Structure 1
Amino acid sequence: MTAIPHGRTRRTPLVSALCALVVGSTGLAGCSEDPDAGTNGVGKLPAAQIQSKTTAAAAAVDAVRLSGSVVTSGHTYKLDMSLKADGGTGSVTAEGVAFHLLRVGEQLYLKADASFWNKEDGKAGDGSDTAAADKLDGKYVKVPTGDPSYKKFSGFTDKDLLLDGLLTLHGSLATDGHHEQSGVRTIRITGDGGSGGKLDVSLEGKPYPLRLERAGGAGTLSFSAWGKDFDLEEPAKDETVDYGKQLPSS
């Protein structure tokens, strides 16, 4: 896939500085630059069309990395995930406990330390709990498809499902000016003046979403590495534990 170019990131500040110098020394007005000059052109479109183009661009690309926080059902999850069509890998932190997810096709693995597996907020309930936690400590545990954890955690590794749920602004759409994210020029669109979410869309290369503030303070996410492939392989057998039909802490 085409990488997002960075060659023009200093152009706007430089031109603005020169413009200010000319105006200050000559008193002439009207020195300005088209903020959409040299861009992919989506900044000139209505907000609804920008949203349509950015969601289409996100759906068409093979891989992406997303990082940030998501608040759902009263819980805050911190994510750093690399995703593509057939799976994903990365870290999730919930309620101060971190764990690693890996999905290859339909097979989902979860890796965490013993404190994750111990019951009662990290305190073992009895000797059997401690033994199970020690057995799973630092291992990739196969998550059975019928386990309650499978649906919950596999969603964090599903590119299309995750982006479909995240890249939604609520309410009346509008544009909110030109901005910059990590050196890339963007156009921002909002829902209901920002209360329904804010989304920065790249003006360079493909109109990929680069930063999202979810409605109602439900988290902020950054998107990067669009189209950059990565290895996705099942862990070695000596790194894997198959616990059976249900995980111990489900």
Structure 2
Amino acid sequence: MTALPPATTVARARRAALPVALCLGLAAALTACAGEDPDAGTNGVGKLEATAIEAKAKAAADAAQAVRLSGTLVSKGGTYKLNMQLKKSGGIGSVTSKNSTFELLRAGDALYLKADADFWAHADSDGKGASKPPTEEDTAAADKLDDKYVKVPEDDPSYKQLRGFTEMDVLLDGLLGLHGKRSKGDRDTIGGIRTVKVLGAEGGGGTLDVSLQGTPYPVQFARAGGAGVLTLADWNEDFELEAPTKDAMVDYGRELPRTND
């Protein structure tokens, strides 16, 4: 019969083995970290040069049939907050400017605008950029338009500008352009998606985050000169797009008023 070692001997052996095990584990972890591939489990675009990553992202966006675009856009006409679902045949969503918030819906060439009564009551201007106080007639008409879709006539001066917010290809081509020499930036995670950054002029010409997961879609774009940050999501996810029902519409009856944004 083999004699068992005293309990104190076993305890000493365990105490001696613990630091050794910790050291071995730490060494193994450091070795793993040192040899870890940052592109493991990705689509591989992170290994490419900056210009190639940008080209992949542009090709993916051009081929997509739908996208959700949200964020802030700063232009000569003012600052806008967008939340638009877009596809080739139209779009739907909201636009918030300095003075107002309105919704847009475009199905084909038919464009509809929806806003509250306050928007319609204060939409007219004196033609010199100053608002005119709403008359009783304006207020009465605005109440009828409250939260209703109004069809924008195609010959109305505001049609082209408003339609631009619903044009998928126009928005993507116009908003996602980098300026200056391209360079590859850091890795990041945006909305749970791993990305790699492409910088224009070291960031001064804009920063494009491209997905490292699945198709290399653009995920976020910071425009040059602080002209806004846009997030792009729900790529190729289709959504319903139909003209408003008759009970949700009202005929404005004349050229839409100009807003003072």
- Which residue is 2:191 aligned to? 182
Aligned: 1:159 with 2:168: yes
Q: Which moved more, 1:130-139 or 1:55-64?
A: 130-139
Q: CA deviation at 1:25?
A: 4.5
TM-score normalized by the length of structure 1: 0.86
Worse-superposed segment, 120-129 or 53-62:
120-129
Cα deviation, residue 73, structure 1:
0.7
Which residue pairs with 1:53 in the alignment?
56
**Residues 25/148 of structure 1: CA separation in 2 closer, same or farther (3 Å cut):** same
1:116 to 116, 119, 122: 119
Tell me: CA distance 1:133–1:183, structure 2 relative to 1, closer, same or farther (3 Å): same
Contact 2:66 2:235 in 1 (8 A): yes
Q: Could you tell me whether the CA contact under 8 Å between 1:115 and 1:123 is conserved in 2?
A: no
The 1:231/1:22 distance shift into structure 2, 3 A limit, reads farther
- Residue 237 of structure 1 aligns with which residue? 246
Which of 181, 188, 209 in structure 2 is aligned with 1:200? 209
Q: Residue 174 of structure 2: SS of its match in structure 1? A: helix
Q: Secondary structure at the match of 1:161?
A: helix
Gaps of 5+ in 1: 1-20
Alignment gaps of 5+ in structure 2: 1-22
Alpha-carbon RMSD: 2.1
Which residue of structure 2 aligns with residue 136 of structure 1? 145
1:73 pairs with 2:76? yes
Retained in 2: the 8 A contact 1:23–1:31?
Answer: no
Matched position secondary structure for 1:241: coil
- Cα distance in 1 for partners of 2:30, 2:114 equals 64
Distance in 1 separating the partners of 2:76 and 2:258 = 19
Moved over 3 A (4+): 21-30, 120-124
Structure 1 residues 82 and 154, CA gap change in structure 2 (3 angstroms): same
Per-residue CA deviation, residues 72-116 of structure 1 (Å, 9 max, x unaligned), is 115110011100010000011001421110000001000000111
1:83 aligns with 2:86: yes
Percent identical pairs in the alignment equals: 55
Cα gap change, 1:42/1:130 in structure 2, threshold over 3 Å: closer, same or farther? Answer: same
Q: Please tell me whether Structure 1 or Structure 2 has the larger radius of gyration of its CA atoms.
A: 2
Choose which of 93, 96, 113 in structure 1 pairs with 2:96. Answer: 93
Q: Please say if 1:127 is aligned against 2:136.
A: yes
Taking a change above 3 Å as real, the CA distance of residues 126 and 48 of structure 1, as seen in their structure-2 partners, is same
Q: Distance in 2 between matches of 1:172 and 1:142?
A: 44
With over 3 angstroms needed to count, the CA separation of the structure-2 counterparts of 1:23 and 1:31, relative to structure 1, is farther
Taking structure 1 as reference, are residues 22 and 187 closer, same or farther at Cα in structure 2, changes over 3 Å only?
farther
Tell me the equivalent position of 2:235: 226
